[in-house]
Amino acid sequence: MTTKTFAELDLSPKVVAAVEAAGYTDPTPIQAEAIPVAVSGRDVLGIAQTGTGKTASFTLPMISRLETGRARARMPRSLILAPTRELAAQVAQSFEKYGVNHKLTVALLIGGVSMDEQTKKLDRGVDVLIATPGRLIDHFQRGRVMLMGVEILVIDEADRMLDMGFIPDIEKICKLLPPKRQTLFFSATMPPEITRLVAQFLRDPVRIEVAKPATTARTITQRFRYCEDGEDWAKREALRELMRAEDVRNAIVFCNRKRDVAILLKSLTKHGFNAGALHGDMDQKARTDTLDKFRSGEITFLAASDVAARGLDIPDVSHIFNFDLPWQSDDYVHRIGRTGRAGRQGSATSLVTFEDLKLLKQIEDMTGDGTVWIGDPPSDQDIEDSKSKKRRRSSRGGGASAGRGDDRRPASRGGRSRTRAQPEGEKPRNETERADQPKSEPMLTVSVAEPGAEQPHVPLDEAFAAAEPRSAPRNRRERGGGRQRDARGERQPRESRRDDQQDRPARGRETTEVQPASASRGDDRANRRGRGDRNQERGQAGGKSAFGAQDQIPDFLRRPVKRKPESKSEPQTADN
């Protein structure tokens, strides 16, 4: 279908006016073919390379169809699923731009932000719900959103959903939606798993394919730089040479690992480049601020992981640098698709090591483009060795230089091996160290007699005399705070004990003699160790009763009471 303007795509007048106000006049090929079908209510399977305007292909017809109707609390009328937070936020911005003449309510459910504000929007009712799969399932399990009122479902960047492992979540969400709905499915590639998903959840879709899957835009100049030394510090040096040699207005530098993004940012900043970082471990506020600074030109170079490879609409990116070739050839197309958008010219330069030659061959087979080298290309022997999975050296030594932010050249290329062969006759290091250490004293052995064996009888007095004196008394009674007795073992009167304590010049250790069993309850209580005994001793030391202060006893209890003498009985013990 060939059209000239957006007015010929069956859009409502309000939507056409908003598009013209945004500065767009001619639709892209995917927009020209997908918008009329989507406005009619049929399912759409859109396949197009990145940067061709797929977002507007479903936002414009959705706004036209949602002009009539009213949203209900916690029951959104339409649902858009995006793989990353940045792409979901970008879709929300598209609705704000194209829905300026409408009063549609839009809610954005992504991680990294407060769930309370999202819940408040859902309670008021939303026309368009834009979400990442994980956060949407979280809200649904908490009972904060119901999906039985969804009329339009959009799955954007479906192949990226597959790469990130979201396909089970997509299947779960689709089963919660009403069967009578419109589904718009967009993807840059069509792997078998995506084809199965399309056959399961789309009803007689119209397939719209405006370009060969996984092809790059012809406005992008692709070049490769071979790094014979595959060390990370050598790759960073080569990257800086390329960045200084070309007229780079702004650029995104892609790495495979998040830790490499942080190391590269430190290196670029040290060498005077105005750079920022973007990866999945950053919180949402930092990621949003970094993207805003990059769009406004405050940051010139953006070191990023593949979180920035899909769907981000940064229209004026002049260069793309691949510090690492992606492990999946499809990701190469998405990475370099950040430049050369909307017919603009762009440049993509990739660093290739010996270990990356096999990945490069997969990229060439997928895109069908030739390889243009900057500098010396790899030798034929290197290419043959890469096919046979041979390595030129035993170790890259990347572990030693991966953590370097100063790009200093290591002392040795291969790094020091963790294990080394022991010379014949030489003891291992740990055994030598153990041999040089002095031997410890033999452990004290305590023999315990077996049960039932006859033990020698030792008199108690001799045992006490043979025992060595202790360095310090262990209880209050040994320190002199217990009950005092005379030489016969009889308890002294209370008055005499007080006088004895007052006249004593200092507390000292007295000779302890073996005393016979006491015949009174008081002596038994004195021999007992516990809280009651300590309270009684504290009371005696202060001149008060063991059971309370004297001033708290009523007067009638202080009067002497004549009691009959108690008869002698068996001494009481703790068991009685």
* CATH code of the domain covering residue 75: 3.40.50.300
Into how many domains does the chain fold?
A: 2
| Within-domain flag for 473 | no
Q: Are residues 185 and 232 in the same domain?
A: no
What phi and psi, each to the nearest 5 degrees, are found at residue 506?
A: -155, 155
Fill in the amino acid letter for 151: E
Residue 539 lies in a domain: no
Residues 142 and 266 in one domain: no
What range defines the domain where residue 372 resides? 220-401
Integer Cα distance of 121 and 108 in angstroms:
9
Find all residues with CB under 8 Å of 307, minimum gap 6, and list them. 84, 86, 278, 279, 280
Q: Are the C-beta atoms of 296 and 325 separated by less than 8 Å? A: no
List the pLDDT tens digit at each of the 576 positions of the chain.
455 689 889 899 999 999 999 888 889 889 999 999 999 999 999 988 766 788 999 999 999 999 988 889 999 999 999 998 888 998 999 999 999 999 899 999 998 888 999 999 999 999 999 999 999 999 999 999 999 999 999 999 898 898 888 999 999 999 999 999 999 999 887 888 899 999 999 999 999 988 665 567 778 899 999 998 888 899 999 999 999 988 888 999 999 988 999 999 999 999 999 999 988 888 878 888 998 899 888 999 999 988 776 656 676 789 999 999 998 887 888 888 888 876 778 899 999 999 888 889 888 887 777 788 998 888 888 878 777 755 544 334 444 344 444 444 444 434 433 434 444 444 444 443 443 444 444 444 434 444 444 455 545 455 444 544 444 444 444 444 445 555 454 555 554 444 444 444 444 444 444 444 444 444 454 445 444 545 444 444 444 444 445 555 666 666 555 566 555 444 544 443
Based on the domain organization, do 189 and 42 belong to the same domain?
yes
11 and 32 in a single domain? The answer is yes
Regarding whether 225 and 202 lie in a shared domain, the answer is no
What residues contact residue 221 under an 8 Å CB cut-off, 6+ apart? 345, 346, 347, 348
Q: Is residue 424 part of a domain?
A: no
Query: 165 and 233, same structural domain?
Result: no
Domain edge (last residue) among 181, 209, 237: 209
65 close to 47: Cβ distance less than 8 angstroms: no
Establish if 230 belongs to a structural domain: yes
331 found inside a domain: yes
How far is 378 from 360, CA to CA, in rounded Å?
Answer: 12
Q: Is residue 530 part of a domain?
A: no
Same domain, 240 and 102: no
- Pick the last residue of a domain from 369, 401, 433: 401
Q: Looking at the structure, tell me whether residues 164 and 248 fall in a common domain.
A: no
Claim to verify: residue 175 and residue 280 sit in the same structural domain: no
**Within-domain flag for 187:** yes
Same domain, 163 and 309: no
43 and 73, same domain (yes or no): yes
Instruction: Answer yes or no: do 363 and 246 share one domain.
Output: yes
Count Cβ atoms below 10 Å from residue 504 Cβ, excluding itself. Answer: 10
Q: How far is CA 483 from CA 176, 480, 536, in A?
A: 83, 8, 10
Q: Is residue 120 part of a domain?
A: yes
Number of neighbouring beta carbons within 10 Å of residue 575: 4
Q: Which of 209, 243, 273 is the last residue of a domain?
A: 209
Contacts of 519 (CB under 8 A, 6+ apart): 571
